[in-house]
């Protein structure tokens, strides 16, 4: 027993020595792997702002002619996208940049999150999400898509030089050097390389590689940290009145401080930012909240008459002529009589839990009309609740009561909807695609296959023409847009004569 003791002691000593050497050996091995990986991995796989800029040297090319651009990342439904478009126009005008006009994104294809809860997608992530969806949208729609400037008429702003714009497709061609039409018409053998180029360009534009000198400045400020102002008599960098409360800070472990910053001083007074070819914002959505604004608080500019004029003009931006005509035609030729409009948002987000209050407002309006209006009362209904699901709701009750009510709805297959969609795709598309397709007939057939979805836009116009009044869903941006259109009386005889 005693003879075995020294051997056990010797074994323990060797074992301890080996275990103590093991971490050093592993560490040395890891260093060797990292060294070999770095030495033999192409530089392109370690992107940086510098290497990314080298891949896209067009920032210094004659294709851009020294022009400076402003891009942004819209999100959510069309009404939110329209709100951001207005803010983008304002920002581009203040900063004297050409606005990159994005495609109209699919409803809720990209989400921001909640500014009041300080839970939002980061600027880099939302820029990348918008880029990816835009490219996929263009590819899926075979390069026939509607941009915000196709749907919304900004011709007066452009002609009066209040803002300069460039279409997304043209911008990609000039800045990335990529023809997006090749997504739709090139052979499969070229598409893999094309997708790689687009992914690289999108990553650079999104700020994933950081900023590139004199080429790109990707704005990292968002609604959690910043409220943009312009020419306000408040010290730049002052804390905003709305801040995260202590309970939220503890619960979410956040430490944001929201500060008010003058957008002109921030981006024009710094030469490194002002000289960048592209100034890339994230979301430009804002909304009133607790006595402040969630992100942009620019409602007047008395010291800058040009911007003051622009602020007034962008309060109401009309739909394109074809859309306005379609909405008015449905009101005059399909409904024919005086009518009221009910905009009922029932299925989306917060609204699905407020059916009772939404229907109550409609019921009160209807009961009032029954006393003063000849029967049946014509009601134009725009809702996200499918007609097959109306049964059991107040809408179902209205539909069954033919003596008192006559309901009208617009559907996607209605002729006025198809005409409005067709009007957005002007002759420019035909000319553009003739070099890829064999005949005009092939071009026209392709266009008819991918008509843009304009139902909501035409519904809003029709609703704004309701002479018996309007009931909208509380808190809905769609209802807010309709109220603005009604305020500007787009269905008056004076406006009618312009079509």
Report if residue 23 sits inside a domain. Answer: no
Spell out the residues 6+ positions from residue 6 whose beta carbon is closer than 8 angstroms to its own: none
What number of CA atoms fall less than 13 Å from residue 281's CA on the CB side? 32
For residue 160, pLDDT beyond 90: yes
Report if residue 421 sits inside a domain. Answer: yes
Whether 202 and 346 map to the same domain: the answer is: no
For residue 363, pLDDT beyond 80: yes
pLDDT in the model for residue 145: 82
Whether 254 and 207 map to the same domain: the answer is: yes
Report if residue 120 sits inside a domain. Answer: yes
Spell out the residues 6+ positions from residue 279 whose beta carbon is closer than 8 angstroms to its own: 68, 69, 70, 71, 95, 97, 217, 219, 267, 273
Find residue 165's DSSP bridge partners. 99
Q: Are 373 and 468 in contact (CB under 8 A)?
A: yes
Q: How many domains does the chain have?
A: 2
Whether 277 and 368 map to the same domain: the answer is: no
Mean pLDDT of 271-278: 92
Whether 270 and 370 map to the same domain: the answer is: no
pLDDT tens digits, 410-444: 999 899 999 998 888 764 555 555 555 556 566 56
**Among the listed residues 348, 452, 464, 316, the one whose alpha carbon sits nearest the alpha carbon of residue 76:** 348
Whether 304 and 329 map to the same domain: the answer is: no
Give me the CATH number covering residue 366.
3.40.50
Q: Could you tell me how many helices (H) and strands (E) the chain has, helices first?
A: 22, 16
Structure confidence at residue 467 as a pLDDT band (50, 70, 90)? very high
Single out the residue in 315, 330, 362 at which a domain terminates: 315
Q: Are 499 and 324 in contact (CB under 8 A)?
A: yes
Measured CA to CA in angstroms, residue 166 lies from 100, 254, 453 at distances of 5, 38, 22
Whether 463 and 432 map to the same domain: the answer is: yes
Structure confidence at residue 2 as a pLDDT band (50, 70, 90)? very low
Report if residue 311 sits inside a domain. Answer: yes
Overall residue count recorded for the chain in this entry: 499
Report if residue 213 sits inside a domain. Answer: yes
Whether 407 and 304 map to the same domain: the answer is: no
Whether 311 and 325 map to the same domain: the answer is: no
Structure confidence at residue 10 as a pLDDT band (50, 70, 90)? very low
For residue 73, pLDDT beyond 60: yes
Report if residue 19 sits inside a domain. Answer: no
Single out the residue in 315, 334, 366 at which a domain terminates: 315
What number of CA atoms fall less than 13 Å from residue 203's CA on the CB side? 17
Structure confidence at residue 214 as a pLDDT band (50, 70, 90)? confident
Chain centre to alpha carbon of residue 496: 31
pLDDT in the model for residue 179: 83
Find residue 217's DSSP bridge partners. 279
For residue 386, pLDDT beyond 90: yes
pLDDT in the model for residue 4: 42
Report if residue 413 sits inside a domain. Answer: yes
Mean pLDDT of 305-309: 96
The lowest-confidence range among 72-76, 350-354, 416-420 is 350-354
Mean pLDDT of 64-72: 89
Whether 129 and 174 map to the same domain: the answer is: yes
Whether 393 and 355 map to the same domain: the answer is: yes
Interatomic CA distance for residues 125 and 491, integer angstroms: 41
Structure tokens at 254: 């956040």
pLDDT in the model for residue 316: 95
pLDDT in the model for residue 450: 63
What number of CA atoms fall less than 13 Å from residue 461's CA on the CB side? 31
Residues spanned by the domain of 407: 321-488
The whole-model pTM stands at: 0.84
Structure confidence at residue 92 as a pLDDT band (50, 70, 90)? very high
Structure confidence at residue 452 as a pLDDT band (50, 70, 90)? confident
Report if residue 11 sits inside a domain. Answer: no
Single out the residue in 295, 315, 335 at which a domain terminates: 315
**Among the listed residues 462, 482, 464, the one whose alpha carbon sits nearest the alpha carbon of residue 474:** 482
97 phi/psi in degrees, rounded to 5: -125, 155
Whether 281 and 422 map to the same domain: the answer is: no
Whether 146 and 282 map to the same domain: the answer is: yes
């Amino acid at each position: 027993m005693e003879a075995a003791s020294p051997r056990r002691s010797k074994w323990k000593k060797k074992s301890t020595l080996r275990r103590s050497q093991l971490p050093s050996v592993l560490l040395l091995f890891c260093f060797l792997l990292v060294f070999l990986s770095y030495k033999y991995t192409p530089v392109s796989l370690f992107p940086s702002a510098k290497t990314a800029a080298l891949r896209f040297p067009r920032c210094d090319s004659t294709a851009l002619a020294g022009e400076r651009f402003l891009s942004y990342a819209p999100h959510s439904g069309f009404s939110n996208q329209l709100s951001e478009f207005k803010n983008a126009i304002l920002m581009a005008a203040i900063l004297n940049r050409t606005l990159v006009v994005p495609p109209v994104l699919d409803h809720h294809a990209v989400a921001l999150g909640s500014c009041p809860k300080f839970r939002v997608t980061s600027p880099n992530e939302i820029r990348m999400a918008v880029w990816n969806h835009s490219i996929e949208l263009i590819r899926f729609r075979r390069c026939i898509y509607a941009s915000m400037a196709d749907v919304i008429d900004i011709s007066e702003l452009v002609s009066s030089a209040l803002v300069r714009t460039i279409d997304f497709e043209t911008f990609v061609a000039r800045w990335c050097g990529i023809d997006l039409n090749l997504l739709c018409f090139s052979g499969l053998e070229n598409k893999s390389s094309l997708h790689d180029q687009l992914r690289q360009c999108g990553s650079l534009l999104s700020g994933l590689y950081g900023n590139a000198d004199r080429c790109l400045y990707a704005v990292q400020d968002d609604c959690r940290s910043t409220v943009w102002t312009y020419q306000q008599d408040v010290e730049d960098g002052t804390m905003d009145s709305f801040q995260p409360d202590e309970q939220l800070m503890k619960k979410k472990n956040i430490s944001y401080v929201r500060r008010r910053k003058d957008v002109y001083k921030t981006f024009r007074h710094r030469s490194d930012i002002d000289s960048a070819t592209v100034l890339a914002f994230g979301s430009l959505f804002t909304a009133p909240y607790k006595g402040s604004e969630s992100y942009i608080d620019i409602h007047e500019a008395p010291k800058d008459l040009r911007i003051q004029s622009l602020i007034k003009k962008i309060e109401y931006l009309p739909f394109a002529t074809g859309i306005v005509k379609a909405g008015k035609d449905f009101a005059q030729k399909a409904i024919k009589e005086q009518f009221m409009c009910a905009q009922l948002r029932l299925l989306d987000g917060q609204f699905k839990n407020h059916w009772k209050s939404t229907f109550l407002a409609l019921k009160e309006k209807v009961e009032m009309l029954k006393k003063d209006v000849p029967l049946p009362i014509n009601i134009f209904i725009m809702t996200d609740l499918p007609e097959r699901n109306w049964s059991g709701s107040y809408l179902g009750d209205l539909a069954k009561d033919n003596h008192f009510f006559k309901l009208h709805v617009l559907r996607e297959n209605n002729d006025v909807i198809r005409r409005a969609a067709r009007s957005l795709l002007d002759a420019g598309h035909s000319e553009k695609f003739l070099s890829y397709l064999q005949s005009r007939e092939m071009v026209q057939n392709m266009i008819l296959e991918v008509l843009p979805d304009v139902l909501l836009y035409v519904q809003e116009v029709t609703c704004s023409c309701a002479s018996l009044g309007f009931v909208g869903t509380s808190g809905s941006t769609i209802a807010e847009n309709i109220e603005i259109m009604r305020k500007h009386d787009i269905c008056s005889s004076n406006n009618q004569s312009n079509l």
